Amino acid sequence: MKQLFAHLRWCLAVCLLCCGTASAADFVVIVSAKNPVSTLRADQVAAIFLSQSGRFPGGAEAVPLDLPLGSALRDDFYSTVAARTRALMKAYWTKMVFTGRGQPPRELASSAAVRRLVADNPTMIAYIDKSALDASVKTIQVTP
């Protein structure tokens, strides 16, 4: 059931992405062009961004990057990938930090800054505004 809801939610998000009408901006998940990974499932992405996994499925180290707190794209990303609102994300990280099990990803000021950092670091993974996309990074296809 929960799975079904996740799927529905994902479908909805994908629809939104494709149509590009409702949301202010569409995000894309990116890695360095040197990174061999090209496809990830949403839960795999979420695991990396929620500090639950430090590695790509292939075994390579994965370091996520965040956009600044309060950015719409960030909320959009987490609600899509991890099905968490901003408040839930805050509660999540509060607990993770307090219990010492993890730290939130490093924040960068803008999609461009993120893209630049990702481009140079094959270990990194991030989400950016679709408009900020260029060839220095590779878009990861996120499957449900």
Partner 1 sequence: MNANKETLRARWLRRGLDTHVSLPLFALLLLVAIWLVTFHEIDTEREHAQEAATDSLQEMLGTYEAQVARSIDGIDQTLRMLKYAVERKGVLGALPELGRQGLLPPGVVFVVSIVDQNGMTVASHPRALSISVADQNYFRFHQEHDSGATFVSPALRDAANSEWHLHFTRRLDDVDGNFAGIVIVETDPAYFTSSYERSRLGERGMLGLVGTDGEVRALRSGDKISFGQRLGTDEGEVNARIGGKYSGMRELHGIALNVLVGLDEKELMAGFERQRREKLWEGAILSAGLLFITALAWLWSWQGARNRARMRLAQETYAAASAASLDAFFVMREVRDADGVITDFRIVDANARAAQMTGSSQQALCSTTLCTLIPEARHNGMLRGLSDVMAAGGMHEQEWQNTLPQLRARWLHQQVVAVQGGIVAIVRDISERKLAEERMLHLAHHDTLTGLPNRSLIADRLEHTISHARRNSGSVLVAFIDLDGFKLVNDGLGHNAGDELLKVVAERMSACLRASDTVGRFGGDEFVLILDEQGSVVDAAPVLERVREAVLQSISVSGQEVQVSCSIGVAVYPNDGGDAGTLLMNADAAMYRAKELGKNNIQFYTREMNASIEEKLVLLEGLRGALDEGQFRLVYQPKVDLHSGRVFGVEALVRWEHPEQGVVGPDRFIPLAEESGMIIALGDWVLRTACAQNRAWQDAGLAPLRISVNVSPRQFEDPQLVERVRRALDDHGLAPEWLELEVTEGVIMRDLQQAVAKMAAVKAMGVSLSIDDFGTGYSSLSALKSFPISTLKIDKSFVRDLGRSSGDEAIASSIIGLAHRLKLRVIAEGVETEQQRSFLRENGCDEMQGYLFSRPLAPEKLAQLLAAPEAKVA
Q: Does 75 bind partner 1 (CB under 8 A)?
A: no
* Angle CA 122–83–12, to nearest 5: 95
Tell me: does residue 93 bind partner 1 (CB under 8 A): yes
| Binding-site size, partner 1 (CB under 8 A) | 17
Spatial neighbors of 57 by CB under 8 A, at least 6 apart, are 37, 40, 44
Name which of 36, 94, 44 is nearest 64 in CA terms: 44
CB of 45 to partner 1, least distance (A): 18
Is residue 88 near partner 1 by the rule CB under 8 A? no
Closest to 45 in 3D by CA, of 68, 67, 62? 62
Number of C-beta neighbours around residue 3 at 10 A: 8
Tell me which of 38, 39, 85, 94 binds partner 1, using CB under 8 A.
Answer: 94
Our CB check for partner 1 shows the closer of 104 and 122 to be 104
Measured from the CB atom, is 12 or 69 closer to partner 1? 69
Q: Which of 19, 20, 95, 141 binds partner 1 (CB under 8 A)?
A: 95
Residue 20 φ/ψ region, left for φ over 0, alpha for ψ in the -120 to 50 degree band, beta for the rest: left
Instruction: Determine if 107 is a binding residue for partner 1 (CB under 8 A).
Output: yes
Rule CB under 8 A: which residues touch partner 1?
A: 68-70, 89-91, 93-95, 97-100, 103-104, 106-107
